[in-house]
Amino acid sequence: MTAVLFQQVSRHFGAVRAVDSVDLAIAEGEFFAMLGPSGSGKTTCLRLMAGFEQPTAGHIEIFGETAEGVPPYRRNVNTVFQDYALFPHLSILENVAYGLMVKGVAKAERLKAAEEALAMVKLPGYGTRRPGQLSGGQRQRVALARALVNRPRVLLLDEPLGALDLKLREQMQEELKALQKSLGITFVFVTHDQGEALSMADRIAVFNDGRIQQLGTPEEVYKRPATRFVADFVGSSNVLPPEFVETLGFGRHHASLRPEAIALGGGDGRTQFTGRVTAANFLGAANRLTVDANGARVAAMLPASIAVPAQGETVTLSFQPEDLHTMDGA
């Protein structure tokens, strides 16, 4: 079943087209990421789903029901806010039980449910504290528990890991993914971090300028970017100019080529080209080689075990023809 459906949805703020004719269908139980730079429309799409914004044009359905005009408090959708938005005057337990309290669930019952939700996010026994007494990571878990205790059919997450440090972020990524699997709830996740989207999502919608540039699985988006923007934004792909692609024998198109698809030296059936080394960086697990090939700047990711050519040296590089992905238009 389709959890969230957008048909030609637009949201304009005056002359600004924050969301412009977006079509998307999110399946039930899916972990769906909306990826894009700030101002690309991804957060506005999330707010349209939550009900904080109304579309200027188009149609939204949540589980088959029309969502336009339905206020946030009548939607079976909950949000984890970017700044967590915990209520500072309430204890952690009261925060988590808030959704049940306003729905009129009896006190004993809602506090028990809140305790269970806190245990689920690994914060048992934190109920009596105040939001101000918790760390950022803990507040994030409380925000998650507060949303999940209402058993929403769709959970919206607005850059939930943005404020956490790297180590904590990686840990929370795994936990969120595991939580989503065990609960079976549809997660819609907004992020500007392509690594986060690639590692967690079942499908990714890449946003730019209020439009979806590409919608597909992480592998599709990563390996076969539909536009130069996607190639540029998702990972660090080489976007090759048409003149250079033509010399390689692929026609006069822009093309994307992943740095890790390029190897030093030639080989059977591989497409070769030569370039002058402009930089070589040691990255730990790999070396990153940047070459100037007929004016095109190409980066290659080489295993650390291979000796790195010196700067200024001319080297031969090659790749499997199917790794080069030509793109039309912008």
Partner 1 sequence: MRSDRNTAAPLGLKIAAGAGLAFLHLPILLIFLYAFTTEEKSYQFPPPGLTLKWFAVTWNRPDVWEALGLSVRVATISTAIALVLGTLCAAAVSRTKFFGRETISLLVILPIALPGIITGIALRSAFSFAEIPFSFWTIVLGHATFCVVVIYNNAVARFRRVSGSLIEASMDLGADSFQTFRYIILPNIGTALLAGGMLAFALSFDEVIVTTFTAGQQSTLPIWMLEELVRPRQRPVTNVVAMVVVIVTFLPILGAYYLTRDGDQVAGGGK
Scan residues 125-164 and list those touching partner 1 (CB under 8 A). Answer: 146-147, 150
Q: By CB under 8 A, is residue 44 in contact with partner 1?
A: no
SS3 18: strand
Nearer CB in complex with partner 1: 147/262:
147
Write the DSSP string, 165-188: -HHHHHHHHHHHHHHHHHH--EEE
Scan residues 80-119 and list those touching partner 1 (CB under 8 A). Answer: 81-83, 85-89, 98-99, 101-103
- Selected from 37, 72, 125, 136, the binder of partner 1 by CB under 8 A is 72
Of all helices (H) and strands (E), which one includes residue 92?
Answer: helix 92-102
Nearer CB in complex with partner 1: 131/225:
131
Scan residues 47-66 and list those touching partner 1 (CB under 8 A). Answer: 50-52
Task: Give the Cα separation of 156 and 176 in Å (integer).
Answer: 12
Q: Segment near partner 1 (CB under 8 A), from 69-77, 160-168, 210-218, 267-275?
A: 69-77
Nearer CB in complex with partner 1: 84/207:
84
Amino acid sitting at position 141 = R
Q: Least Å distance between CB 187 and partner 1?
A: 15
Q: By CB under 8 A, is residue 79 in contact with partner 1?
A: yes
Task: Give the Cα separation of 254 and 233 in Å (integer).
Answer: 15
SS3 193: coil
Nearer CB in complex with partner 1: 64/104:
104
DSSP conformational letter for 310: P
Residues that bind partner 1 (rule: CB under 8 A) add up to a total of 25
Long-range pairs of 108-116 with CB within 8 A, sequence gap ≥ 24: 113/149, 114/145, 114/149, 116/149
Percent helix, strand and coil across the chain, each to the nearest 5: 30, 35, 35
**Residues of this chain that bind partner 1 (CB under 8 A):** 50-52, 71-73, 77-79, 81-83, 85-89, 98-99, 101-103, 146-147, 150
